[in-house]
Amino acid sequence: MRWLFRGVLALVMMVALAATGHVLVGAYGPRPDLAARQSLTDALESEIESGAAVTAQQEFPEGEFFSHVLTGISQARLGGADNLDRARAHLAALQEPAVLARFGEGLVPEHGVFALGWSLQLAVDIARASGTSSDVAVAVGLASRVSAALERYDSPYLPSYPGQFWPCDTVVAVAGLVAALELPGLADPDQERWLTATWRWLDTVRARQTADGILLPHRVDAAGEVLEGPRGSSQAIIQTFWPIIDPADATTWDAFVSAFVTREAGLVGVREHPRGVDGQGDVDSGPLVAGVSLSASAVALGAAIANGDAALADSLAGEAEVFGLPSRLGPRRYALGLAPIGEAFLAFSWSRAPQRPTVPSRAPLPAWPLWWGSGLVVAGVAAYGLSRTRRSPHAPVEQSRDA
> Can you point out the beta strands (E) in 225-282?
226-228, 261-264, 267-270
Q: What percent of the chain has pLDDT over 90?
A: 85
| Integer CA distances (angstroms), 135 to 65, 91, 111, 179, in order | 20, 11, 22, 14
What value, to the nearest 5°, has the Cα angle with vertex 37 and ends 49 and 253?
110
Q: Does residue 324 sit within a domain?
A: no
- 8 A C-beta contact, residue 371 and residue 98: no
Please state, in angstroms and rounded to a whole number, the distance separating the CA atoms of residues 207 and 203.
Answer: 6
Helix (H, G, I), strand (E, B) or coil at 220: strand
| 121, burial (CB in 10 Å: exposed 0-12, middle 13-18, buried 19+) | buried
What is the per-residue pLDDT across 186-225, written as a single tens digit (0 to 9) for each? 999 999 999 999 999 999 999 999 888 999 999 999 999 9
Higher pLDDT: 60 or 399? It is 60
| Integer CA distances (angstroms), 92 to 39, 86, 96, 150, 251, in order | 23, 10, 7, 24, 37
- The mean pLDDT value of the chain amounts to 93
User: Residue 273 carries which side chain, given as an amino acid letter?
Assistant: H
Q: Give the confidence band of 396 by pLDDT, cuts at 50, 70, 90.
A: low
Strands 261-264 and 267-270: antiparallel
What is the per-residue pLDDT across 330-369, written as a single tens digit (0 to 9) for each? 889 999 888 999 999 999 999 999 999 998 999 999 999 9
Predicted confidence at residue 328, as pLDDT, reads 78
Task: Examine residue 109 and say whether the peptide bond preceding it is cis (omega within 30 degrees of 0).
Answer: yes
Predicted confidence at residue 390, as pLDDT, reads 72
Predicted confidence at residue 394, as pLDDT, reads 52
Q: Give the confidence band of 401 by pLDDT, cuts at 50, 70, 90.
A: very low
Using the CB atoms, write b or e for 363-391: b if 16+ within 10 Å: bbebebeebbeebeebbeebbebbeeeee
Predicted confidence at residue 303, as pLDDT, reads 98
Q: Give the confidence band of 73 by pLDDT, cuts at 50, 70, 90.
A: very high
Q: Does residue 76 sit within a domain?
A: no
What value, to the nearest 5°, has the Cα angle with vertex 147 and ends 141 and 148?
90
Enter the pTM of the model: 0.93
With both helix axes pointing from N to C terminus, report the angle between 112-130 and 167-180 in degrees, rounded to the nearest 10.
30
The domain of 213 spans 95-229
Name which of 204, 189, 105 is nearest 150 in CA terms.
Answer: 204
What is the per-residue pLDDT across 307-334, written as a single tens digit (0 to 9) for each? 999 999 999 999 999 999 998 788 899 9
What is the widest separation between alpha-carbon atoms in the chain? 120
- Per the structure, the count of domains in the chain is 1
- pLDDT higher than threshold 80 for residue 397: no
Higher pLDDT: 170 or 3? It is 170
Predicted confidence at residue 3, as pLDDT, reads 79
DSSP line for 81-136: HHHHHHHHHHHHHHT-HHHHGGG-SS-SSTTHHHHHHHHHHHHHHHHHHH--HHHH
Query: Average of pLDDT values for 219-243?
Result: 97
Predicted confidence at residue 290, as pLDDT, reads 94
- pLDDT higher than threshold 90 for residue 402: no
Predicted confidence at residue 167, as pLDDT, reads 98
Query: Average of pLDDT values for 122-141?
Result: 97
| Integer CA distances (angstroms), 25 to 11, 19, 192, 259, 298, in order | 21, 10, 50, 30, 19
Q: Does residue 43 sit within a domain?
A: no
What is the per-residue pLDDT across 83-130, written as a single tens digit (0 to 9) for each? 999 999 999 999 999 999 999 999 999 999 999 999 999 999 999 999
What is the per-residue pLDDT across 4-52, written as a single tens digit (0 to 9) for each? 888 899 999 999 999 999 999 999 999 999 999 999 999 999 999 999 9
Q: Does residue 106 sit within a domain?
A: yes
Please state, in angstroms and rounded to a whole number, the distance separating the CA atoms of residues 235 and 165.
Answer: 15
